[in-house]
Structure formats: structure tokens, C-alpha cells
């Protein structure tokens, strides 16, 4: 039984990676492409090779395979590793093409993510100190953007340039002074919460299973994606995977 479970997990992991690769198949890195690098929030650096997409962790001169799961970076974004291979992102493909990823279109995007993180998608933590502080930063970022437009005009270059407050919000996304709203993961329109409840059990009786761990990782990834969506209630990539996983034999209901 354990062997069958491992085989199913590998099959599901491969399917997730294949789906991401299919969506980005038109962007194939060339042989001279450099490895993509990102600073991990837990310390060290993640390095993803352009050809194999193998994910390594480099820290203090040493290099080792990065464990499977969802890894948060210093800028608040995440990288998903399945079977030792990173699911490629647009940022990775830009780096492999030798181009620089563009800055956010709107200067207050990081502040918008900070508000969603601290206040919750449904504003369940609307009166929390972190939420109030985040809303203040968001308002300041909007003010800075309006002032920049007056000084430089409303051109695209002015809009794309990150201002001091938006950079402060990016830093705050990884600071303990700005904790996530406790209701964030089970907020409205979470497609992955149903999958977690299904495989982990209503009372977490199956919390130690691989299926439960995989479902929770998908839920965490869904939350990260919804933080950056224009409409956090819209179906994200991870949310779609959770809906499909309901028919996957690996994610069997908890029966303990």
C-alpha cells in the first residue's frame, strides 16, 4: 500500500509540473541561459537550472537538493518544487531569456497584497493593528503615485517605477509585525479548503498522511496566488488543481 501511495504522489506531482510546463511551452530557454536565482525567506538562495529545472539550495558555499513543497522568497512570492524539480514561473523564463522581469504595473501592488494578507480576503481581521497599518501604507502608496503623475506626467514609465512606500510594503510581506489574518486560508471562495477537509478530515484525523500534506501545500499556494489576483475571489491556478484533485485517486477521503 505504501508503494502504491508513493507512486500516486509521484504521478500527481508530475501532472502538476506538466501542466505548468504546457502553459509556458512557448518560452523555451536557450543553451546559454543562466540559472535563475532567488533569495529564500528562510535563508540561503534557491537556484533553478534552465535545462532540467532542478532546484538547489545554496547556503554558505554549500549546495544541496531543495525539498519538495512550497518555498517562500524574500519578496513574498513562492516557488513550488515537485520531485526535486521547480515548477517554472514567468520570472524564471524571463531570466533564462536574458531579460529583466518588469516591475509591477501599479506602484501600490505590494501594498495591496499586504492589505489582503493582514486583513483577510473577507476583511475578517479588519480591526487588527497589522491590517490598519497595512491600509495606511496602501493609502500612502496611492498618494505617492498621484504625486508622481503630477511631477512626471501619467506615462507608463512613471507608473511602473516602485516608490518608497511600495518597497516598504514588499519588505513588510515577510515581517512578523504583519502576520497573516488567521481566517486567510479558509476565506471565502477557497477551492482548496474543500480538498483539505476531504483528505485531512474535519478533525484533522488524517493530518499525518501524504495526501493531507499535498492538499495543504496546494491551499498555501492558492492563498499566495489570490494575494496577487486583481479579484481574490477568482479561480486561481492552484484552485483549479484542487478542483481536479477531487477526482484523483491519491486524494482519497479521510476515513479514520
- The pTM for the full model equals 0.54
Q: What is the mean pLDDT of residues 128-157?
A: 81
User: Average pLDDT, stretch 204-231?
Assistant: 84
Beta carbons of 67 and 82 less than 8 angstroms apart: no
DSSP code per residue over 25-81: TT-PPPTTPPPEEEEBTTSSEEEE-TTT-BEEEEETTEEEEPPSEEEEBTTS-EEEE
Higher-confidence residue: 38 or 237?
A: 38
pLDDT for 207-217, tens place per residue? 998 888 888 88
Task: Say if residue 75's pLDDT is above 60.
Answer: yes
Q: Which of 17-21, 38-42, 113-117 has the lowest mean pLDDT?
A: 17-21
Q: How is the chain split into domains, by residue range?
A: 2-96, 109-172, 191-245
Distance between CA atoms of residues 117 and 140, nearest Å: 18
pLDDT for 40 beyond 70: yes
Specify the pLDDT at position 139.
93
pLDDT for 105: 39
Most confident of 148-152, 179-183, 205-209: 205-209
Q: Are 93 and 27 in contact (CB under 8 A)?
A: yes
pLDDT above 50 (res 24): no
Q: With respect to CATH, is domain 2-96 assigned 3.30.930.10?
A: no
Q: Which residues pair with 55 in a beta bridge?
A: 48
Radius of gyration, alpha carbons of the chain: 20
Amino acid at each position: 500500500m505504501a508503494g502504491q501511495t508513493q507512486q500516486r504522489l509521484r504521478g500527481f506531482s508530475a501532472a502538476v509540473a506538466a501542466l505548468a510546463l504546457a502553459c509556458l511551452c512557448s518560452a523555451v530557454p536557450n543553451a546559454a541561459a543562466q540559472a535563475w536565482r532567488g533569495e529564500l525567506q528562510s535563508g540561503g538562495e534557491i537556484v533553478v537550472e534552465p535545462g532540467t529545472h532542478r532546484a538547489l539550495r545554496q547556503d554558505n558555499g554549500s549546495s544541496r537538493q531543495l525539498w519538495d513543497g512550497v518555498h517562500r522568497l524574500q519578496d513574498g512570492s513562492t516557488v513550488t518544487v515537485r520531485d526535486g524539480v521547480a515548477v517554472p514561473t514567468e520570472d524564471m523564463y524571463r531570466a533564462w531569456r536574458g531579460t529583466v522581469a518588469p516591475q509591477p504595473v501599479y506602484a501600490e501592488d505590494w501594498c495591496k497584497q499586504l492589505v489582503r494578507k493582514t486583513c483577510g480576503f473577507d476583511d475578517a481581521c479588519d480591526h487588527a493593528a497589522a491590517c490598519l497599518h497595512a491600509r495606511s501604507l496602501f493609502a500612502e502608496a496611492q498618494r505617492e503615485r498621484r504625486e508622481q503623475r503630477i511631477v512626471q506626467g501619467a506615462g507608463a514609465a512613471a507608473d511602473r517605477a516602485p516608490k518608497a512606500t511600495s518597497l516598504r510594503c514588499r519588505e513588510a510581506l515577510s515581517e512578523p509585525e504583519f502576520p497573516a489574518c488567521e481566517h486567510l486560508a479558509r476565506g471565502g471562495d477557497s477551492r482548496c479548503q474543500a480538498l483539505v477537509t476531504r483528505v485531512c478530515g474535519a478533525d484533522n484525523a488524517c493530518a499525518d498522511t501524504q495526501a493531507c500534506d499535498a492538499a495543504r501545500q496546494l491551499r498555501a499556494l492558492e492563498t499566495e496566488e489570490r494575494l496577487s489576483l486583481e479579484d481574490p475571489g477568482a479561480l486561481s491556478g492552484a484552485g483549479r488543481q484542487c478542483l481536479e484533485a477531487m477526482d484523483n485517486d491519491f486524494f482519497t477521503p479521510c476515513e479514520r
